[in-house]
Structure 1
């Protein structure tokens, strides 16, 4: 929601004639309890045929 408000305010500010430039600030390590982990996918989502069959419960590996 905040990103939408920022985009709207930014567009109003530049009136479609501006450029938004960002700079990489760095990385911070976070404790594992704050990070999100999930199981490995059984089927590669880049293989569209197998992924759709997997999602439709037509095939199980």
Structure 2
């Protein structure tokens, strides 16, 4: 996956996965498939956080 380098040298992926309008079941499936495919760019913070995303990431550890 392509990334951009910020001024502080930290790389940021150019592709993001948004789950805001999804149901819990849809978000869980989307994040699970993304992790299986190798996606590793997660940013989860209120008010956009989805409980299913947190559960999926916890289960993947």
Q: TM-score range by the shorter chain?
A: under 0.3
TM score, norm. by length of structure 2: 0.24
TM score, norm. by length of structure 1: 0.24
Q: Which has the larger radius of gyration?
A: 1
Q: Whose strand fraction is larger, Structure 1's or Structure 2's?
A: 2
